[in-house]
Every structure is written in C-alpha cells, then in structure tokens.
Amino acid sequence: MFKAIPFQYDSELKREIDLRGLSPSTFVNYRSHLRRISEYFECDIKDVGLEDAKEYLYHLKAELHRQPQTINICRAAYTFFRHNVLGDYFPAYLLPQHKLVYKLPDILPAENIFAVLERLSLKHKAITSLCYGSGLRISEAVGLEVGDIDSASMKVYVRNAKGEKQRYTILSKFSLNCLRRYWKSCRPPGQILFPKLHTPGEPSFTQYLQQKFCDTYKELFPNSNKRITIHTLRHCFATHLLDNGADLRTLQLLLGHKSIRTTSMYTQLTEYSFSKLVSPIDRGRA
C-alpha cells in the first residue's frame, strides 16, 4: 500500500483544464493519475522528474499489466501538469508514448442482453436499456435531463457527448416503457433524469452500475469468455443495427463519431454483410 501524499494543485490543474475546454472527466482522470505517481514515489508530484515518470510508466506496463490506453493517459496527465501547471516545458517525445493495440470488441446476442436487463432494478434497467437501445455511453445515459427524452419523435438529445458535442439518437419503445415506469415510481425532483440519491442536482455514479451489469452477466453466463463491460452495449447497438440493414452514415450520426472510419470498424462484426459474400473458391466451383 502506497503512502498517501496530499495533492495540492487541484485549483491550478482544474483552471488549466477548463481554459482549454476539456471535460470534467479529464480533470478527474489526470488528478487520479498524478496522485498515484506521487504516492508511488512518496513525494510531491512536482518533485517527480522525467526519468521517474519513465520508471512509473514501465511499472504500469511490466508489473501492473495496464492497457496501452491507460499508460498513455497517465503520460498525458504528467506531461500536461509539467507543461501547463508548473510551466516546466520539455519535448513530449522524451516521454515515450505507448503504441496502441486495437482489438475488435466482443458482441453479445440480443437475448443475452435482455436476460441481464430483466435482472436489474427499474432505474438501472432504464439506464442500461438506453446504452443498448440508443447507443449511449454510460456517462451520456446518466447525464440525461428530463427534457432530453422526446417521446413524440422517439429520439434522445445527447447533451453530454464525448468532446463536449451534442447529437440526437433514436429512442426505443422498450426504453420508453422503462422510462415511464421509472418516472412513475421514482419521480426525480429536478432536471436530472437519473440523479444521485442525496444530491439530485448531480447525475448518478456510473461505477456501481457498470459493476452490476458485469456481475449479472457473469452470473447468468458463467461459461462465457467474452470481454464484457457496459460499453459493450454501445458496440452491440451499432453491430445489430448494421445486421438490420442500417447504413454507415446514419450509424455515424447516431453514435456521434467524428470520422466514419471509426464507424466502419463495425462492418467487421456484422453478420449481415458477411452473409451476402461468397468465397471465390466456392464461386469458382458453383
């Protein structure tokens, strides 16, 4: 267990992040990584030098077996702090960036997803159904306001999308039914649709819901070897829409992807396009 070292730069770090229009989650993630670096070396983060940072990143990779994305976020946090809070500039290439490894996500059958939904509480069922039925990230789902649900047009306004962008996506009849039952049962007191229990002006925490989804899936399907998180539901939304004949441009808009190249990943996962292909060896023997 590392020694707890006070982090004394909250206001400075938040100011620099806000000035650049970065999201509140960036502040939370950067602060968390900086605290862990500080505790690892048992000293103030400003006293952690460049070689120390390299040692810590290697510790994340070799000993803790963290994913490349996590290592790169830690690197970005340290570089941002040194450059913008301490004013201590160094060329970023001196702190190596880990090569990213992109893996195709695992996709769940729709019947498995519905089996999990039926095990969740009413509130969690409503949130999780939006992740699958509308392709929302979990942070987008819990950040919804009451007025973001348009039942007349069957669409959802996503106000807290990645990169501070906004978009519209579809609203499923299943989710609408869950939302109406949730509304009658819980009746949130403010504008936030899924507020915290004791602070209704703030969205619910996502950690418990993510863990509940994973635990329920493992309980129902103990022999599954799929890599499952609640974000898997967003991948399932995209892949299952393609299976039903949706086009990539529409899918890009619903998911809020900046580039269609990101959306095109799902063409490797869909059964629809593959079912229409004929291998040249079979065509030649037809």
Q: Give catalytic residues, as residue numbers.
A: 137, 162, 231, 234, 257, 266
Sole residue written with tokens 């989804």: 213
Token code pair at residue 57: 């990143």
Token code pair at residue 59: 């510790």
CB 270 within 8 A of CB 242: yes
